[in-house]
């Protein structure tokens, strides 16, 4: 089984000015929905793993978060794609939660359901996502969308982390080499 893990904000959809708080705030990054459809059509399972501290900060409710995820899934389906699971951490940075990236707890939960994640691509745009991937043996992939440009510029030690302009460019390259 082929599997790819995606962060949500900054990888699939635009970041927004202050969290994606509602369905009306959710806007896909150009090409991202088509890229997920390409993965699906190639037989690859796609899972989303995302920190959503806006819940802990009372920016939006769990119900709102679930509506956003349902909307995202429906939009992806319009392009022939599928999300096989959405895993999220609703805790804030000060909660010391083991599932909040850069800690690998969310990915460990995913691993219990999907099997070993060693070598599985985890596409993110921030250092904390790359660190969580490394901690569990997944393959960190950096995209320059969201905060990815800053992540690449500001953090040393990412020379061995593949970097792509966006999710679509990663998917196109990954599918060619698979």
Question: Cα separation of 116 and 113, whole Å?
Answer: 9
> Contact at 8 Å (CB) between 11 and 146?
yes
Cα 85 from Cα 48, distance rounded (Å): 6
Query: Which of the following is catalytic: 7, 18, 84, 159?
Result: 7
Q: Is 9 marked active-site? A: yes
**Distance between CA atoms of residues 117 and 2, nearest Å:** 10
Q: How many helices (H) and strands (E) does the chain have?
A: 6, 6
Of the candidates 9, 18, 149, 165, the residue annotated as catalytic is 9
Percent helix, strand and coil across the chain, each to the nearest 5: 40, 20, 40
Which residues are annotated as catalytic?
Answer: 7, 9
């Amino acid at each position: 089984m082929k599997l790819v893990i995606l962060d949500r904000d900054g990888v699939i959809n635009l970041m927004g000015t202050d969290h994606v708080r509602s369905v009306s705030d959710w806007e896909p990054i150009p090409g991202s929905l088509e890229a997920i459809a390409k993965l699906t059509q190639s037989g690859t399972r796609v899972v989303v793993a995302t920190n959503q501290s806006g819940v802990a900060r009372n920016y939006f409710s769990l119900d709102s978060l679930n509506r956003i995820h349902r909307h995202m899934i429906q939009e992806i389906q319009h392009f022939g794609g599928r999300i096989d699971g959405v895993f999220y951490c609703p805790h804030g940075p000060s909660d010391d939660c083991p599932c909040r990236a850069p800690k690998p707890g969310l990915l460990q939960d995913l691993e219990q359901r999907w099997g070993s994640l060693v070598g599985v691509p985890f596409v993110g745009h921030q250092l904390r996502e790359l660190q969580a991937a490394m901690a569990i043996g997944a393959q960190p992939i950096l995209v320059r969308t969201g905060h990815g440009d800053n992540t690449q510029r500001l953090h040393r030690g990412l020379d061995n982390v593949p970097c792509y302009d966006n999710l679509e460019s990663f998917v196109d390259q990954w599918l060619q080499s698979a």
